[in-house]
Amino acid sequence: MKRFLALSALLALCGLSMIGCGGGTGSARFTNPQAGAVFVTGEDAPLPSVVSLNLTINSITLTGASNSPQLVSSPITVDFARLVGLRAPLAFNAVPADTYTKATFVLSSPVINYISPGTPPQVTTLNGTFVSPTSTNPQTTSVVVTFSTPMVVGASGLAGMHTEFDIRQSLAVDGSAQITGVINPVMFIEAVKATNPEGQITDLTGTIVSVNVPGNSFLMQGPFGHQFTVDVDGSTGYNGGFTLATLPSSGGFAALQGTVQMDGSILASDVEFISTDQAFISGRILALNPTSGPVQTVTLWVGETGGGTSGLVDTVQTVDVSGVSNYAICFFNNSWFSPNNLFGNSSMLVGQRIFIGGSFSSTFTPSFISLRRQGVYGLVVPGSVTVTSGHAGDFQLLNTGLLGLSLGGPLTVNTGAGTLFFQGNSNILTLTDLQTASATVSVPVVARGLVLKDSVSGDPVLWAHRVREAQTVR
C-alpha cells in the first residue's frame, strides 16, 4: 500500500523561477551540441506569519567530477515566502556534460517581513543576519548543498535542479516564538526532469512583448528583467476564448504554466491573458473595509508589481476599489470545478491572493481585480479526510498563516476528479492514501488552488488543483 509520507517544505524554485542565460536578460534560444543545459526551479517551506523573505542569490555554482560551472553569475533577488505551492523559473544555463554532486549558493541581503494579529494585521520588517557569514558589508554566506542523487547532464541533454529553501528551519525564533532575524540557511536540492512535478512551471506572469503566429510562439517580459520565449501547440489551453492569433500583439499581462525545453524556452500547457491595463500590484489580502458586503478598500501585502509600480513591492497598500466593476478568476483548468460567478466585490477574503490591474502615475488607480491561484501549507486534521469518489472529497487543514488567523480554526480543502496528489516526482497518490495516512496523525501538506468564499458560512474554502505532501524529515 502506498504511504502518504510527511515531507518537509521545499525550496524547489517552485513559484519563483526565472529562465535566462546565467541570470542575464537575453531570450535567445540556446543551441550547443557539445554541452548540456540545466534549469533551476524553487519552492518554499513556510514559517507561520512570514509574508516575505527576500534573499539575493549572488551565485549558484555546481560541483562536478571535472567541472564547476555557474548557473547564476549575476545577482537576483528572490522572495521565497511567495513560492508556497507555486513554481516559476529561476535560472537556465549551458553546462559541460558531467555528473554533478553539489551546488554552492552565495546568499546576501536577507530581509524578513512577518505579520502579527491585529486589525489590520501589522507587518514588521527585519534586516536579517547570517549565523555563519563569509563576508561583511554586505554580509554574505556560502551554503554547500549535496544532491540526494547525483545530477547527470549529458551532451545535448537537459537537466533540472529543484531547490528548496526551508524557511521554517532557517529562521531563528526566541522563547516566545518571535522571529529574531538570525538566519541559518537550510536548503535542499534535487535533480529533476522538466516533466517532473517539481520541474514544471506553474506560475509565471509577465507582459507580452510580441506574438509570432507562424512560429507558434510569443515573447514575454518576465520578472527581474528576463524575457521568455513561450511556445504553444495544439494542446495549449487558453482562457476566455483566446488563441495565439487573438492575443494582443504587444502589451497587456499574461500568465502561464508549462515545461522548460532544451533551448530554454517554455512550452505552455495553459496561457491566461489577464488584462490590458498598464500597471498592476499583486499579493495577499490583509484586511477589507467593510468586512462584509461590497468592499470599498482592500489592504494588501504587495509581493509582485508591474508597469511602473515597482516602488510598491514589499509594502502594505490600501487601495480604494469602490469604482472597480471588472472582477475575474484566474484560468483554472479543471473540468470538475467551475469557479464562474464566485468572485466579486462581496466575496473577497483576508488571505486570498489577488491581482489588481490599473494605471499608475503618481498614484495607483485600479480598474480590474483577479483572484489568483495560491499555495497553502498546513497540517491535515487527523480523521478529517472524507472520500466521496476517487479524488473527490474534502479535508480540514490547520494553517497558522493569514487564512488560519482569519478563520480561527481549520481551513476546508475541497478536492475533485481533477485534483492531483503528489509524493515527490514520481509517486502519484490518491485522496484515499491521504485519508489512511492521516487517520490518527497530522500530515503536513501544501495544497494549491483557489480560495473562495463559502456561500453559506462565509468562510474561506480552498478548491485544490494539487495537493503535495510536505516533507518534515530529511
More confident residue, 183 or 428: 183
**Over the stretch 327-343, which tens digit does the pLDDT of each residue have?**
988 876 556 666 667 89
User: Looking at residue 84, what is its pLDDT?
Assistant: 65
**Over the stretch 284-321, which tens digit does the pLDDT of each residue have?**
998 999 988 899 999 999 988 888 888 898 888 999 99
Other C-beta atoms closer than 10 Å to the C-beta of 178 total 13
Domains of the chain, each with CATH number or no CATH: 7-192 (no CATH), 279-371 (2.40.50), 374-472 (2.40.50.140)
Other C-beta atoms closer than 10 Å to the C-beta of 166 total 24
User: Looking at residue 158, what is its pLDDT?
Assistant: 87
First to last CA, the chain: 22
pLDDT above 90 for 418: no
- Alpha carbons 408 and 411: distance in angstroms, whole number: 9
> Cell digits for 24?
542575464
**Over the stretch 10-60, which tens digit does the pLDDT of each residue have?**
222 222 222 322 333 334 344 443 455 555 554 444 455 788 888 999 999
Tell me 302's DSSP state. Answer: E
Mean pLDDT of 369-398: 93
- Judge contact between 448 and 375, C-beta under 8 A: yes
- Alpha carbons 329 and 450: distance in angstroms, whole number: 9
Q: Could you give the angle at the alpha carbon of 373 between the alpha carbons of 371 and 375, nearest 5°?
A: 130
Q: What count of Cα atoms within 13 Å lies in the side-chain half-sphere of residue 306?
A: 28
- Alpha carbons 197 and 202: distance in angstroms, whole number: 9
State phi, psi for 176 to the nearest 5 degrees.
Answer: -100, 10
**Over the stretch 123-165, which tens digit does the pLDDT of each residue have?**
888 999 999 999 888 899 999 999 989 999 988 888 888 887 8
**What is the chain's mean pLDDT, rounded?**
82
Establish whether the linkage from the previous residue to 120 is cis, with ω within 30° of 0.
yes
Q: pTM of the predicted model, to two decimals? A: 0.80
- Judge contact between 42 and 14, C-beta under 8 A: yes
Q: Give a three-class secondary structure readout of 324-369.
A: CCEEEECCCCCCCCCCCCCCCCCCCCCCCEEEEEEEECCCEEEEEE
Residue 130 CA to its chain's centroid (Å) = 25
3-state secondary structure of 401: coil
